[in-house]
Structure 1
Amino acid sequence: MTEVGNDGLPPWAARIRNERRMRGWSQKQLATHMFQVTGKDIVLPEFDSVLRRIKDHEAGKNRPKDPYPVVYCRTFDISEAKLFEAPESPLVVLDENDHDSGAVTVTSPALPWIWEPGPTADAIYDITRSDLMLDRRQAVKALAITAGLPLVDPVQRWLSKSGNEPVTTSQGGRIGTDEVEQLEKSTNVFRTWDDSHGGGLARKAVVGQLNEVADLLKDHHPREITLRLFHVMAQLSKLAATMSWDCGMQTAAQKYYTLGLQAAKPTGDRPFGASILASMARQLLYLDRPQDALELVRLALDGVRTTATPRLRAMLHTREAWAYAKMGRPEAFRRTTDAAEVAFAEVRSDDPDPDWIAYFDAAELAGVTGGRYLEVSQQKAQYASDALTYISRACQLRQRSSMRSLALDQLGLAFAHLISGDLDEAISVGSTATDTAGQVHSDRVRVQLREFYLEVKTRNDPAALGLSQQIRDTLAR
């Protein structure tokens, strides 16, 4: 009798699908990568036949037979025992065919939902200490992503007014206001670095700083100092999450987002908590979980309905529109995109926006909106002109210091030209985008560059051979 999970799939089928989805690959892209890892010792049949086998394997119809187990393991760079026998690490299997129900098969422990200030700081200290000793290559392979009700339900407590106050004292602790101010400034420096270069090189530095702040919170400080330390800890947790994502460490990213949300609660800063929920939603959108993402964005909007600045409201509406685009609901997408633009039109230079939301400027609004039109245009080509309009505007407005966002904009623009049928312009913009992508350390950029490469290859045009080689060289570096 074949063992099956709660979604009706054999465990090995769920693992194959999860490995593919965690790398951001379509089934067609997985087939392409499988051909790239075969050598003289393995011969695969025609591409269409391999693609059919992948679909059958992920549906649990037929257990893979030689040579597929070896090819899968080479492609995913994991052991055959981990893929086809008992998993070495727990999994949460994302069900890509059931977005509306939010159904997931949960075979891992829940995320560390801790809403009390003291235990939250202790958890962050322990997790960061372990993280600093972690082999990054092993962390990239961890696949314990939580989705559906196990994620959405606990997050509801973010809105509850109950919660213990952090322990404080009327006397001074180890540090004073000057030291806290230095920690706040260093957090802004890390944020600027992340925006400029991607988080690949600075992640361990942020994790180390986060560990230090959590250690400081083991002592008692005056209330003002304690709350500011919790706020720094929440911001560093969010940065650690974003940088982990840039390193391809999806599990660590979700864990740090969760801890950041919990660290923000005792500060009473709901706008910042809403920004973390928006980031959590963006990760779920990246993993093709739009219904779960929409739940988190709506929760964020509920939490800041009376306190959000126009800039924050605009950002949250773009996440809402993103979810509708993923769900194939173009009218809802247009409506919420309009709401984002209306909110952003209310932004004034003297608005009291904190540093953590300053990134969301006119370029970011245009880039996010254009990126969503680009996704929609891959099913409905008539939206390609909207994608070109918005992404072109983003490229013009984008600060050259924001290299990661610029690379994503340029790749999106090249993709839009490709869909529109302008191969010459796609090659020109694609070459510039590849140069920019080579200057950042971001898994998101690598994934999009790889997808663009695969799309260019399908055109099978000799004029694109130079660009294909340029992309291959960049990805190899």
Structure 2
Amino acid sequence: MSDPSDAKRVPIPSAFWTRGEVQVALSREDAGALLRLVRQRTGASQHAIGAAIDMAQPHVSGIMRGRREVTALKTWRRIADGLSMPNEARRMIGLADSDWVYEGGIRRSSPLSSPPGDLWSAPRMVRDAAEMTLRDLMKRREALAAGGALVVGTALTETLEHWLLPTDAGPLGRRTIGDGELMRIEAATVAMRHWDDRWKLGIRRKAVLGQLSEVAELAEVFQPEPVRSRLFMVMAELAKISASMSYDAGDHPSAQEYYTLALRFAHQAGPEHRLYGVGVLADMARQMLDLKRPQDALEISRLALDSAQAHAAPGIVLALLRTREGWSYARVGRAEAWRRSVAQAEDLLDNEDGSSEVPEWARSFDRAELAGVVGARYRDLAAGTEDRAARTRYATASADYITQALRLRAPEKLRNRAFDLIGLGRTYLVLGEPGEAASAISRAASLERTIGSGRVRRRLHDWYTESAAYHRDPAIAQLRDELATTLLDGQSNLKETA
């Protein structure tokens, strides 16, 4: 069967296919419910829908009224092609993927090939958000599959460098939403940001993705300023929350996709939101360090520093970024460059006078956080040197800094305390003190049972691997057995890398 012409195509927003009622209709193979929803959401007449799916209006009416049931695969194919149904939706009704996708009513071969600058255009961002959330919402909940291949090296940094260019706002259409509706959307986003770490997956993750999809549908049309800017910032926040959830679950490719999307949305929101984007870059650098890609982390950190300095960022922001930079140096064994970055971070914190407003994402960076990062990096230096004296010196400094971090940490910072304790446990292994290592890790494991963080479990797994050399020590042996049968059960299949 030939495709209906573009002139007959019903304009259906990409986010339509992520709606709960649409997915129910697809899962039940209920063509009547699907066509009713199409008419409801697009305002298309039965004649227009019939023209798109190559059916007479009385036939369409019969399906929508429930008098006709669609069971033939050929008819479903006609409906799917006529409604420009995305591949994820086609699979739900048992159809093969389409070789074509529709973008703004234009038929294009898949995958889409767009010039690099188009990646940062408003229409492309909104479409990408709809497609990404559609893909993730249609994943089976019990099978959190990785989102694709991780992007590294120049392919990553050259994409992110577009962040420094001016915003190119493109018109999307016209439909205004009220200030009350926008305020409710913003309030819901703030609530999602503050959800406890233990609710990173499952229904609450689906809720964040669903909210992002809904807001993307609103942003598919042009909104007047400042509504437009506020909508894009809501999408930036939701994309960043989704990235954090994916990161915590160990799904690094999806996390990187959502971080990049958050950066693009913040860019589109306008220059007054550049410091928010700097925070996204800081998170992306942290992810690269977790994935043992220190050179990529260094490039991203420098990009963030350039942007932060150009926009007169507060000292706390610059101090945080200097620790990311120094962390990268420590990972490649550049001890002097590491110490220089740490000294700069300490000076920035000492000279912070509170005269500038600190972005929300940077407010948790304080002396405790700096001490924890410094201590962990001294452990990296200790593990990377063959010089026994230097190894002991670095490890001793590591234990001192991490102990200081634990003393300074606010009681409610449970995940940070767990990271500190695991870092201390790993440092004690370097110092050859298995009893102290076991004590610190036991305390961290107790915290993990409360917070349920995938990142904490992965760090416990690191300690478990490193402690194998002390498996004959009674305290270590008992703790390893306990971890293997509780918190780390099944951890060998973690999606730590792409």
Answer yes or no: same fold by TM over 0.5.
yes
Shift of 1:128: 0.9
Q: Which runs of 5+ in 1 are unaligned?
A: 1-108
Where does 1:237-386 land on structure 2 (aligned, <5 Å)?
237-267=239-269, 268=271, 269-306=273-310, 307-349=312-354, 351-380=356-385, 381=391, 382-386=393-397
Counterpart pick for 2:455 among 433, 441, 444: 444
Q: Structure 1 residue 136: deviation in Å?
A: 5.1
Task: Provide the secondary structure at the position in 1 that maps to 2:126.
Answer: helix
What do residues 186-241 of structure 1 show as CA deviations (whole Å, max 9, x unaligned)?
333333335x4473454222222222221221233221111011111112111111
Which whole-Å deviations, capped at 9, do the CAs of 1:2-59 have from their partners, x for residues lacking one?
xxxxxxxxxxxxxxxxxxxxxxxxxxxxxxxxxxxxxxxxxxxxxxxxxxxxxxxxxx
Task: For 1:31-110, list aligned pairs within 5 A.
Answer: none
Secondary structure of 2:280's match? helix
Structure 1 Cα separation of the partners of residues 208 and 377 of structure 2: 31
Q: Residue in 1 aligned with 2:238?
A: 236
1:417 partnered with 2:417: no
Higher RCO (CA 8 Å, separation ≥ 6 residues)? 1
Residue identity opposite 2:227 in structure 1: I
Partner of 1:461: 473
Instruction: From the CA coordinates, give the structure whose radius of gyration is larger.
Output: 2
Whether contact under 8 Å (1:140, 1:248) holds in the other structure is no
User: Which stretch of the first structure deviates more once superposed, 180-189 or 246-255?
Assistant: 180-189
| Partner residue of 1:132 out of 134, 137, 150 | 137
The offset of 1:349, in angstroms, is: 4.6
Q: CA RMSD in A?
A: 2.5
Note closer, same or farther for the CA distance 1:221–1:162 as it changes in structure 2 (3 Å cut).
closer
Partner of 2:219: 217
Q: Secondary structure at the match of 1:447?
A: helix
The offset of 1:283, in angstroms, is: 1.3
Percent identical residues: 37
Aligned pair in 2 of structure 1 residues 199, 143: CA closer, same or farther (>3 Å)? same
The question of whether the paired residues in 1 share the 8 Å contact of 2:148 and 2:254 is answered with no
| 2: CA distance, partners of 1:184 / 1:311 | 26
Q: Distance in 1 between matches of 2:315 and 2:159?
A: 28
Deviation at 1:368, TM superposition (A): 1.9
- Give distance in 1, aligned partners of 2:456 and 2:369: 16
CA contact (8 A) 1:325 1:333 kept: yes
- Contact 1:197/1:404, CA 8 A, preserved across alignment: no
Which residue of structure 1 lines up, in the alignment, with residue 184 of structure 2? 182
Task: Kindly provide the amino acid, as one letter, of the partner of residue 169 in structure 2.
Answer: N
Q: Please say if residues 315 and 340 of structure 1, whose CA atoms lie closer than 8 Å, have aligned partners that are also in contact.
A: yes
Any stretches of 5+ residues in structure 2 without a counterpart? 1-112, 386-390, 491-498
The change in CA–CA distance for 1:226 and 1:162 in structure 2 (over 3 A counts) is: closer
Hey, what does 1:394 align to over in structure 2?
A: 405
The aligned length equals: 366
| Counterpart amino acid of residue 476 in structure 1 | D
Summarize the Cα distance change of 1:320–1:345 in structure 2 as closer, same or farther, 3 Å threshold. Answer: same
Supply the AA of the counterpart residue of 1:402: K
Inter-CA distance 204–154: structure 2 relative to 1 (3 Å threshold): same
Name the CA distance, whole Å, in 2 between partners of 1:430 and 1:113: 48
Letter in 1 for 2:382: S
Q: 1:180 to 1:406 in 2, by over 3 A?
A: farther
What is the match of residue 156 of structure 2?
151
| 2:457/2:487 contact within 8 Å kept | no
Is this contact kept in 1: 2:402–2:423, CA < 8 A? yes
Q: 1:399 to 1:444 in 2, by over 3 A?
A: same
- Comparing 196-205 with 287-296, greater Cα deviation is found at 196-205
Aligned to 2:487: 474
The residue type paired with residue 475 of structure 1 is L
TM value normalised by structure 2: 0.68
Moved more, 262-271 or 203-212: 203-212
Please state how far the C-alpha of 1:398 moved relative to its aligned partner: 2.1
Deviates more, 1:226-235 or 1:453-462: 453-462
SS of the residue corresponding to residue 220 of structure 1 reads: coil
Partners in 2 of 1:197 and 1:166 — Cα distance?
40
User: In structure 2, what is the Cα distance between the partners aligned to 1:253 and 1:474?
Assistant: 23
Distance 1:175 1:134, change over 3 A: farther
Q: Distance in 2 between matches of 1:281 and 1:217?
A: 29
- Residues 471 and 197 of structure 1: is their aligned pair in 2 closer, same or farther, counting only changes over 3 Å? same
CA contact (8 A) 2:167 2:267 kept: no
Deviation at 1:312, TM superposition (A): 0.9
